[in-house]
Amino acid sequence: MKLTLDTDKNRIEFEDGFGKEECKLYSKDGFEKLSDLWLKLSWEQKYSYTFTWLGRPIIQHPEDMIRIQEVIFKEQPDIIIETGVAHGGSLIYYASIMKILGKGRVIGVDIEIREHNRKAIESHPMYDLITLVEGDSVGDEVLTEVENHICEQDKVMVILDSDHSKKHVAAEMEAYHSYVTPGSWMLVQDGIMQMVADCPRGESTWVDDNPVSAIKEFLEKHDDFIVEQPEWLFNESPLSQNITAHPSGWLRKNQ
| Selection from 156, 149, 203, 216 nearest residue 183 by Cα | 156
Q: What is the DSSP letter of 246?
A: S
User: What are the two backbone dihedrals, phi and then psi, of residue 15, each rounded to the nearest 5 degrees?
Assistant: -135, 125
Residue with the bigger pLDDT between 14 and 26: it is 26
Mean pLDDT (the chain, rounded): 97
Residue 248: left if φ>0, alpha if ψ -120 to 50, beta else—which one?
left
Listed in sequence order, the residues at least 6 apart from 49 whose beta carbon sits closer than 8 Å to its beta carbon are 57, 59
% of the chain beyond a pLDDT of 70: 100
Inter-residue contact 189 to 249 (CB < 8 Å): yes
Q: What angle do CA 233, 190, 253 make, to 5 degrees?
A: 55
3-state per-residue secondary structure call for 130-152: EEEEECCCCCHHHHHHHHHCCCC
17 has a pLDDT exceeding 90: no
Residue 1 pLDDT class (50, 70, 90 cuts): confident
How far is Cα 30 from Cα 11, in angstroms, rounded to an integer?
8
CA atoms within a 13 Å half-sphere pointing along the CA-CB vector of 29: 10
37 has a pLDDT exceeding 80: yes
CA 42 from chain centre, in angstroms, equals 16
- Residue 188 is predicted with a pLDDT of 98
- Residue 47 is predicted with a pLDDT of 98
- Chain length of the chain: 255
